[in-house]
Amino acid sequence: MCQSSTCPHCGKPLRLSAKFCGMCGKPLSRRAQSPISALKHRSRFLGGKILPGLISLALICFALTIINPVRQSLLAVIVWDESDALPIITATATMTTFDVRETNDSLLTPTVAVAPPSPTTHVVAESSDKSLLEVHVIDVGQGDSILIRTPEGKTALIDGGYDNGRALAYLQAEGVTHVDVMVASHPHADHIGGLVEVLTALSVGEVWTSGATHTTGTYERFLDAIIAAKVPYHEARRGDAIPLGSLNLNVLHSDPNASELNNTSVVLRLTYGRISFLFTGDAEHAAEYEMLATVRDQLSATVLKVAHHGSYTSSSPEFLAAVQPAVAIYSAGRNNNYGHPHAETIQALQRIGATIYGTAEHGTIVITTDGKNYHVQTEYDRPIIQVPPTDNWQDSISLIPGSNISIADRDCSDFSTQAEAQAFFLANGGPDRDPHRLDGDNDGIACERLP
């Protein structure tokens, strides 16, 4: 549901501290204040409660690193890839053309054409045809950022990666001076850090979030940037349609109260003719199962932005079966410290027949479509992602480009409720596999002691 920081009586924009409207003179109730001020208050309150404990935990971890030589395994959860923090502008490119023919819903018949190498230019999709929709999955390292351009010239930016300047540099290289719609899928730094830079440098029409808060400085700077730029702020809810010219970004999921920030993610579906896109943020299994229960009939998509950088905590077999993407694209940093994408996710995507691309291997990936056919163009000319099938998915981790660590086991302490653990347990093979040994007594029920 839409919210904005204006006077409820006359519509004049308000300062956060205003008690009376400067235009109509009427007193303002607390409800008339910007929702951003409420988010900042809640963020600071949580920070005052939680931050001292986090600082203590960080000091303990730091002490452990002094006596433990295996430093990276201890700090893997808080380290990201910054080895290529500057935007890369030299590339070769490949382009795959797909002709979509309808039988029942649609069948995809791919033909492949290789664009001539251009080692000194940044190759992107041609935009001279005014009937084309463009979706750019930007290589921002270990993070997410997606630029959408409509045939009418409207622009949307979903996430911005870390504050490494790469999203902004890409937009500027593409000649983007105004973003009509900005969406922050959720408040993790690898999704909103770059949005602060965009809000500072470019004009933005409106900002949408799930309303979830965080206690980090990056999140505080994001709210401050919205206020400083005087950009209308909205909180998305399932069923909303965010206008983008004549098209809509349809909200399939948004839960600010989810126990995990990843599961607060705003999930969006965009349709142009017979071609559709599903943008999933970092939604994990719990959010996927919620969508299966509420919007299953809206999940099918031609192109899937794979959730959570290809992590095994997302992309459950049931969810992928409902989406049935022809193309799947993950966004992750090359040689990142999380092992993204995980082999299990790549194998699950292969099982449903998706063609897999990733920014870690292919750089920025641009999909253009006229609503009937679509083209996939990659910044780097490298093979599509494939992993040989194996009974033990961890045996294949080293075969995935961009992965350099093994995956830590999960136990019941990683879940808030038994239902969440059960969903993860079933998504990972249930009682027949149970690679994380969540079902100790082999009765088909995981983590029975959880509430």
| Percent with pLDDT over 90 in the chain | 54
- Name the residue among 356, 370, 302 with its Cα closest to residue 106: 302
Average pLDDT score over residue span 232-257: 97
Which among 80-94, 160-174, 372-386 has the top mean pLDDT? 160-174
Tokens standing for residue 439? 């079902």
Is it the case that residue 323 has pLDDT exceeding 70? yes
Q: Of all residues in the chain, what percent carry a pLDDT higher than 70?
A: 64
- Reading the block at residue 14, the tokens are 């308000």
Distance between CA atoms of 28 and 34, rounded to whole angstroms? Answer: 11
Q: Which of 105, 99, 94, 95 is nearest to 371 (CA)?
A: 99
State how far the Cα of 139 lies from the Cα of 360, in Å rounded to an integer.
8
Question: What pLDDT does 261 receive?
Answer: 95
Q: Mind listing the pLDDT tens digit for each residue in 260-271?
A: 999 999 999 999
pLDDT tens column, 27-72: 665 444 566 766 766 666 555 555 566 666 667 656 655 545 433 4
Tokens, residue 345: 């996710």
Q: Which residues pair with 336 in a beta bridge?
A: 403
Tokens 């930016």: give the residue.
157
What is the rounded CA–CA span in Å between residue 362 and residue 360? 6
For domain 94-396, give the CATH number: 3.60.15.10
Torsion from C-alpha of 304, 310, 312, 316, nearest 10 degrees? 0
- pLDDT at res. 351: 94
What does the mean pLDDT of the chain come to? 78
Q: Which of 35-39, 83-87, 128-132, 354-358 shows the lowest mean pLDDT across its residues? A: 83-87
Q: What is the pLDDT of residue 451?
A: 74
Strands 233-235 and 373-378: unpaired
pLDDT of 131 higher than 80: yes
Instruction: Give the pair of three-digit tokens for residue 229.
Output: 């730029």
pTM of the entire predicted model: 0.66
Buried b (16+ CB within 10 A) or exposed e, 315-325: bbeebbebbeb
What pairing do the DSSP bridges indicate for beta strands 355-358 and 327-330?
parallel
Alpha-carbon distances, residue 384 vs 335, 347, 419 (angstroms): 17, 13, 36
* pLDDT on residue 64: 58
Tokens of 397: 């981790």
**Residues 6+ away with beta carbon under 8 Å from 344:** 312, 393, 428
DSSP 49-70: HHHHHHHHHHHHHHHHHHH-S-
Task: Report d(CA 11, CA 6) in Å as an integer.
Answer: 5
